[in-house]
Amino acid sequence: MNDGGGTHELVVGGLSADVAGRTVLRGIDLTVRSGEIHAVMGPNGSGKSTLAHALMGRPGIEVTGGQVHLDGHDLLALAPWQRARLGLFLAPQYPTEVPGVRLADVLGAALADGPDLAGVIGASVEQRATAEAQRVGLGAKLLERSLNVDLSGGERKRSETLQLGVLRPAVAVLDELDSGLDVDGLRDVARRVAEAVGEWGLGVVAITHYRRLLSVLRPDAVHVLVAGRIVASGGPELADELEHTGYAGYQPE
């Protein structure tokens, strides 16, 4: 994970992928550096979640072409945990329930494994987790509960953001972090992610349908994903425009 200094670079080049024999990604190019926030927007079924999971290496997604490098490491050759170790983080759209495994235990296990964070943490895992829970508006008792079990959609997203704050990744892929959240929740998690960009230079790929996440988490670049291709890229004004016009103007030929 992040060593607390230096800059990181996630480079996606010509990434194509199939899911269940169907081509979903058709050549994605994207470069995200430390401190940058990239929004990926697009209609349902355009391949946004597949992009997120292809970056993290979910089983069942068959990469058919292209490369993904993080700081020069070929991620496509690595298992998900190895990608995580290099500093990639995914907050999935639907965080999985893991009965019997407490959030606090997994955070402890993640941080105990490896010396690279020793100098950065400066506080116990519990202290950090408790502080992060407060920042995203989660009760600290949630740390003692099984991962995502019986959590509302909004609590799960706050929990993902808490994990991001404790683990301090280099690049975070946030897959519809705004879904399931009410207005207060959206503000809390978006603010936390924005602060992480300042605190340790987190690089962000924020996948979303809507502009509302981006009103707090101001993107440096907005990419429009339609039918597995990035069909337009621009500044924050592109998100505003999409809010008015929708994706109708970006249908593939």
Partner 1 sequence: MPSEAEEIWRYSGIDDFDLGAFSPPAPGRDLTPGELAQARSLADHMGTRCALVVTRNGVVVGIEPEPGLDSATVTVAGAGPLGSGADDGEAFALAPPGGDGDALSVVHDAFLSDVVLVSVGRAVELAGPVVIVHLVDAEPVTSGSVSVFPHTVVRVGPGASAGVVELFAGYGPRLEAAALVVPVSQLEVADGARLAYGNVQILGGGTTQVGLQRSIVGRDAEFRSLTVSLGGRYARVRTDSELAGEGGRSSLLAAYLGTAAQVHDFRTLQDHSAGRTESELLFTGAVADRARSVYSGLIRIHKGARRADARQTNHNLVLSEGAHADSVPNLDIDENDVRCSHASTVGPIDEEQRYYLEGWSRWWPNGSSCSVSSPTWPPARPSRPWSRGWRSRWPSAWPAGCRPKREPAMGDTVRLCARSDIAPGTARRFEVGAYRIAVVRIEDDFYALSDTCSHEDYSLSEGEVFADACELECWKHGSTFDLRTGEPLSLPATKSVPVYPVRVEGDDVMVELP
Instruction: Point out which residues bind partner 1 (CB under 8 A).
Output: 1, 56-59, 79-81, 83-85, 89-92, 95-102, 105-107, 109-110, 113-114, 146-147, 160, 163-164, 167, 169
Query: Taking a C-beta distance cutoff of 8 angstroms, is the pair 158, 136 a contact?
Result: yes
Q: How far is the CB of 59 from partner 1 (least distance, A)?
A: 6
* CB 79, min distance to partner 1, A: 7
Could you give the CA distance from residue 100 to residue 252 in angstroms, rounded to a whole number? 46
Place of tokens 């101001």: 218
Give whichever of 105 and 220 is closer to partner 1, judged by the CB atom: 105
Q: How far is the CB of 116 from partner 1 (least distance, A)?
A: 10
| β pairing state of 98-102 and 146-147 | antiparallel
Shortest Å distance, C-beta 182 to partner 1? 23
Dihedral sign, Cα of residue 94, residue 98, residue 102, residue 104: negative
Torsion 143-145-147-153 (CA) sign? negative
Comparison of 97 and 182: residue with beta carbon closer to partner 1: 97
Q: Are the C-beta atoms of 204 and 216 separated by less than 8 Å?
A: no
Q: How big, in percent rounded to 5, are the helix, strand and coil portions of the chain? A: 40, 30, 30
CB of 203 to partner 1, least distance (A): 15
**Closest to 205 in 3D by CA, of 3, 6, 29:** 29
Nearer to partner 1 among residue 31 and residue 146 (C-beta): 146
CA distance 9 to 207: 18
User: Which CB atom, from 113 or from 182, has the smaller least distance to partner 1?
Assistant: 113
User: By C-beta, is 114 or 139 nearer to partner 1?
Assistant: 114
The residues facing 203 across adjacent strands are 171
Of residues 107 and 224, the one with the C-beta less far from partner 1? 107
Q: In whole angstroms, how close is the CB of 56 to partner 1 at the nearest point?
A: 5
Element (H, E) at 139: none
CA 181 distance to own-chain centroid: 16
- Smallest distance from partner 1 to CB 47, Å: 19
User: What span, in angstroms and rounded, lies between the C-alpha atoms of 3 and 116?
Assistant: 6
**Nearer CB in complex with partner 1: 83/229:** 83
